Amino acid sequence: MKKEFPVTLTIAGSDSGGGAGVQADLKTFSSLATFGTTVFTCLTAQNPDGVSGIYEISPDFVSAQLQAVSSYFPIKAAKTGMLYSKDIIKSVASFFYENPDIQLVLDPVMVATSGAKLLKDDAIQSLVEDLIPLSKLITPNLDEASLLLGEPINHYDQLVPMAKKLFEKFKVPVLLKGGHLPNATIAIDVLFDGKSTYEYSKAYLKEKHTHGTGCTYSAAITAMIAHGKNLSEAIGSAKEYLHLTIEDDILTGPIHHLNHFPEPIN
């Protein structure tokens, strides 16, 4: 009997450098035994040094891609990455409003590690009002959480209360990623689902190239959800996978990149 792979979907921007965005998502989906489908929101001209150009896909064509994929494939879980504009967000939100059975992991991509803006200023309100309420999980890093809350997050002791504060604001489970804490020796993430708090920690891997870790993490969570794991289990497995991709990195010319195909994660 042929093995059936659950279908996953990424709605995100392209990374021409191959390390983040849709490219990282597809590698992750494949590595974790799901069949990845795609909806492109933007094309970027970029490499690990930075983003030199962004070409926005029209909202109508984003909707056309969503319709084409969903009318054929039984999508189990989906994730969003770079959405870029208010009109794209509204198109994506309309799709998930009409397809509530697809479990959505929302990675609120706002600014690249290089500093490039990946979300227009007028799009933040639409993200908050139109799309976050339709999500099963949001996965902000510290900078994104600070923008969403309007206050800085600089210390480990803030992780749990800020995760709870994000939940109170948006009424959806929150995975607050603490990997950018200053002088961190342990990478700690906190999930608050409205009832329980979970912490996920791994040793901080210094002097490692981490371009694409946010995309990879949210894609891995999406894949685990598609395989039927509950939220806390899915995040735990995804955290293990992410750690391996960083630890077992591969040399790609001048730098190392995440290895999206380490030993299988169960």
231-265 pLDDT, tens per residue?
A: 999 999 999 999 999 888 888 878 888 999 997 55
* CATH number of the domain bearing residue 153: 3.40.1190.20
Which domain range does residue 109 map to?
7-257
> From residue 148, how far is each of 24, 66, 141, 166, 255 by CA, in Å?
25, 27, 11, 8, 33
Whether 28 is covered by a domain: the verdict is yes
Q: What is the count of structural domains for the chain?
A: 1
Q: Is residue 262 part of a domain?
A: no
Catalytic residue among 27, 90, 177, 239: 177
The amino acid sitting at 208 is K
169 belongs to a structural domain: yes
214 is catalytic: yes
Give residue 116's pLDDT: 66
48 vs 20: which has the higher pLDDT:
20
- Rounded distance between C-alpha atoms, residue 27 and residue 49, angstroms: 21
Q: How many CB atoms lie within 10 A of CB 21?
A: 28
In a domain, 266, yes or no: no
Of 101, 10, 112, 3, which is closest to residue 54 (Cα–Cα)? 112
Q: Is residue 265 part of a domain?
A: no
> Does 207 map to a domain?
yes
Instruction: Tally Cβ neighbours within 10 Å of residue 117.
Output: 12
Clarify whether 177 is annotated catalytic: yes
pTM: 0.95
Is 263 domain-assigned? no
Is there a catalytic annotation at residue 79? no
In a domain, 205, yes or no: yes
Q: Is 194 a catalytic residue?
A: no
